[in-house]
Structure 1
Amino acid sequence: MNALIQRLISARKAAGISQAVAAERLSISRPTFIAIEKGTRDVKPEELMTLAKLYNTSLNRLMRQNAPPTQVAPHLRAVVEREGEDAGLDCAIAKLTEFVDDYMFLLDKVQGHAMPTPPPQPARSPLPVERFAERQAIEQRHRLGFGDREPIGSLRKTLDEIGVHVFIDGLDSKLAGLYAYIENFGYCILVNRRHPQARRRWTIAHEYGHFLFDRDRRGVDYAEPMQRKPENERFADAFAMHFLMPSEGVQRRFHDTYQQKGDVSVGDVLRIADYYGVSLMAMVLRLESLGLIRRNSWDAIKASGAKVRDIRAESGIEEIGDQDSVEIFPDRYLMLAIEAWSSEKITTSQFAKLMRKSIVEAREFAYTRSQQEDDNQSIIEFSLGDSLLHREQPTA
């Protein structure tokens, strides 16, 4: 199958459009459209323009000479433990494929851009998988500079800096995320933007656990996980818990609260959850596992019918804003796109399409990002004979 046909199929699936709808838009029969996607009938220039508009993509992308990274789809499909066809999953896989395709296009345009080397896969251990996950979480926290207590602020940015590509976009509600290791590119995570911030952070941490444990496989993280969890899922869950909620830090926050108030309420637990960027449910279950609160406390909270927003209002706790960017693409991709555009290696129209924004929005984003980078740069002027130490000036 030639590159054009592969790109047409990938773009249609990414747009979530059926063959019947596409055929109707072209005013041809569905069998004729299927023949186009099989390569037995040539697509006409005017049909190509119509499909590009229908799929919300560009002619430039469809006409790229290299095939899209289609190796993502079959590996993902091979481990899906669901019966029947899943249009939502097909659409998500196609999106991830398209995002990777655009990323590789930019890397080709901006020659010489060095990608960070992801951490090596740890050697397997004879320890029980949950204990092994805990040890790996502690090691990763120290490796990334967070130690035993501190919360992980911008998780997405942290992983981007070590070469793990995290994309965020709207997915089918039952999908939390996808993960895939793509040769000659790296490890990719696609997270559902429709989920709350705390859930997105958990999904990213969970998928990073897969990266450490079984990066040679591909998989799907469903919002409602399977009842019998395989070893890799147990590792990823345990890793996410210890990675986001380190036992030493959580216990210290809990005991500090108790010392100040002589008690710990649900509102206090919510404050600790906000501090670590996790959900109230995740923190309650974590405190249960540490033996700091009664077993089945979360079941009791659920049975009460109390909503998190009501607990916030009653406890005077403000809603926290997004700690991570909700842009579709990670920072490194955005930087590449702006560099390619500013150096005129891509057109303004291409830039907007690669950013998934209108031309006006893309220009404004590039300007704002450039201003932020300029503001973050500080210049220290000194001569070779000056001391680099900060000393107070002598008074007259």
Structure 2
Amino acid sequence: MISSELLGERIAQARKRLNQTQEQLAKSIGVARTTLVAMEKGERRPTNAELLKLAQELSISVNELLREHTVVADASPRFRMAPRQARSDAVEEAVERLKALGRKYVELEQVLSVTRTPAPLEAITAYRASQSPTGLEPRLAAQDAAAFLRRHLDLGDGPVLALESLLELEAGLRIFQLPLPSEVAAIFLWSDTLGACVALNRLQLRERRRWSLVHELGHFLRDREAGDVLPAKFEGRLDPSEIFSETLAAEFLMPATGVRRRFAEHLRDKGAHFSAADLIAMARFYAVSFQAMTLRLEELQLLSAGTYRKLVQRNFRPQAAQKQMGLKPARENAERWLPQRYERLALEAYAQELLSEGELANYLHCDRITARELYLARQVEATEGGELVLDLGEDVLNARNAG
């Protein structure tokens, strides 16, 4: 059983997350404000009846209030206080779902007593809006940031492979693939407790999700406390943070030197002829959309301004063209929507008997049978000599010294 002090802290955090005053919550559960104050300080433990009322009013289960590892933290105050008039109820629900997933991620770390080490890019402050030199144009700052990131990550000028894994490791982003409302491409929120959480709209094409992820990386670098809800249609927003993030996405995913070199290679192969098929090939090489690639070539003055607009007017359909060329869409595991590290933490906690099968299923958002199958699939690794059973909780660093 958790201490009264920890229970009181959770009640206070959940109340603040809902922007309720002590007076409001006390009235809702039928106690005096002084009584609630005593509960939050850990000086008076709620009765069972009061716990039920508190859970109902705070939109949290009694189990979450009482279990040993529970996180009730919220996004940064600046994100919560941002104007919401443009957000629908569906968008607000998606934001709350991302917060809940972020809390579960932190809970898994606590269950395993993992102290998350800050990722390298978390310490980068050079591009934060609050510290940028006055008057620094956001496009120039984004171009510099993209060049820095590529040098830091040793990417050269080629395409960025395994983008999600790379940013999970280097930036500490907690990336979830969620079925967001159609008007939203991605959501980014941050707090000291939750870290940086990103939701990508899994209903969109892979190329768009990659772009959205780097866009949110821009907000992470520039002003993480403000967060972001990225519309599906950008429509040339003039906010400096949006300009910075969009420019970063273009410069990071399609570096000028690499794009120019690749363009020249196509010209050499085709005798100075560059076709729509070459455009599609370049877009697939950099894993960006046909539109993004064409507009990037226009920006670099490798194609005439207005090329994309003319192709649209001629009713050119990139997906139909790819089928005609015999190109298949990139294969994806449609079932995988949780971060790989999140899944590993949950399975390791279960292997160490720190989670029950039901709790594992809850963290993996599936039924118990599926959770058990996932555990067994990770536990057994097929090898040429047969099946090798792995202990997911074994400390392999120390094991090599013992052998």
SS at match of 2:155: coil
Comparing both chains, which one has the higher relative contact order based on Cα–Cα distances under 8 Å and sequence gaps of 6 or more? 1
SS at match of 1:165: strand
SS at match of 1:177: strand
Residue 163 of structure 2: aligned partner: 155
Task: Return the match for 1:292 from 290, 302, 306.
Answer: 302
Residue 393 of structure 2: aligned partner: none
The alignment status of 1:341 with 2:350, answered yes or no, reads yes
Q: Matches of 2:17 and 2:96 in 1, distance apart? A: 6
Q: Deviations over 1:156-214 (max 9, x none)?
A: 10011121211111111111111122103421211111111111111100000111111
For 1:115, the aligned partner's letter is T
For 2:79, the aligned partner's letter is L
SS at match of 2:159: coil
Task: Return the match for 2:112 from 86, 110, 113.
Answer: 110
The 1:152–1:38 alpha-carbon spacing in structure 2 relative to 1, beyond 3 Å, is farther
With 241-250 and 362-371 compared, the bigger mean Cα shift is at 362-371
The 1:82–1:229 alpha-carbon spacing in structure 2 relative to 1, beyond 3 Å, is farther
**Is residue 116–residue 161 contact of structure 1 (8 Å, CA) maintained in 2?**
no
Residue 394 of structure 1: aligned partner: none
Residue 125 of structure 2: aligned partner: 122
- Number of residues of Structure 1 aligned to a counterpart in Structure 2: 348
SS at match of 1:216: helix
Residue 5 of structure 2: aligned partner: none
The 1:134–1:128 alpha-carbon spacing in structure 2 relative to 1, beyond 3 Å, is same
Q: Matches of 1:318 and 1:197 in 2, distance apart? A: 13
Q: State the 1:78 CA deviation.
A: 2.7
Percentage of matched positions with identical amino acids: 26
**Is residue 7–residue 62 contact of structure 1 (8 Å, CA) maintained in 2?**
no
Q: Matches of 1:7 and 1:169 in 2, distance apart? A: 24
1:1-396 pair list within 5 angstroms: 3=10, 38-40=28-30, 60-61=63-64, 63-64=66-67, 68-72=71-75, 75-80=78-83, 82-83=85-86, 86-119=88-121, 120-123=123-126, 124-125=132-133, 127-147=136-156, 149-162=157-170, 163-225=172-234, 227-262=236-271, 263-322=273-332, 327-371=336-380
**Is residue 155–residue 201 contact of structure 1 (8 Å, CA) maintained in 2?**
yes
Q: State the 1:105 CA deviation.
A: 1.1
For 2:92, the aligned partner's letter is D
**Is residue 207–residue 287 contact of structure 2 (8 Å, CA) maintained in 1?**
yes
The 1:3–1:216 alpha-carbon spacing in structure 2 relative to 1, beyond 3 Å, is closer
Q: Deviations over 1:241-292 (max 9, x none)?
A: 0111111111111111111112111121111111111111100011110111
Q: What residue ranges of structure 2 are gaps of 5+ in the alignment?
A: 1-7, 19-23, 32-46, 127-131, 391-395, 397-403
Q: State the 1:77 CA deviation.
A: 4.0
Q: Deviations over 1:278-328 (max 9, x none)?
A: 111100011110111111111112112222221102223222223x88633
Q: Deviations over 1:342-393 (max 9, x none)?
A: 000000111011011222222222333344698999x9xxxxxxxxxxxxxx
SS at match of 1:160: helix
**Is residue 110–residue 340 contact of structure 1 (8 Å, CA) maintained in 2?**
yes
Q: Matches of 1:94 and 1:184 in 2, distance apart? A: 15
With 220-229 and 34-43 compared, the bigger mean Cα shift is at 34-43
Q: Matches of 1:169 and 1:370 in 2, distance apart? A: 27
For 2:321, the aligned partner's letter is I
**Is residue 213–residue 232 contact of structure 1 (8 Å, CA) maintained in 2?**
yes
**Is residue 10–residue 98 contact of structure 1 (8 Å, CA) maintained in 2?**
no
Q: Matches of 1:260 and 1:335 in 2, distance apart? A: 45
**Is residue 6–residue 68 contact of structure 1 (8 Å, CA) maintained in 2?**
no
RMSD: 3.6
What is the TM-score of this pair, normalised by structure 2?
Answer: 0.75
The 1:81–1:109 alpha-carbon spacing in structure 2 relative to 1, beyond 3 Å, is closer
Q: Matches of 1:250 and 1:230 in 2, distance apart? A: 27
**Is residue 169–residue 193 contact of structure 1 (8 Å, CA) maintained in 2?**
yes
**Is residue 191–residue 204 contact of structure 1 (8 Å, CA) maintained in 2?**
yes
Residue 23 of structure 1: aligned partner: none
Q: Matches of 2:263 and 2:335 in 1, distance apart? A: 30
For 2:328, the aligned partner's letter is E
For 2:163, the aligned partner's letter is L
Structure 1 stretches of 4+ moved >6 Å? 4-11, 34-37, 41-45, 373-377
For 1:106, the aligned partner's letter is L
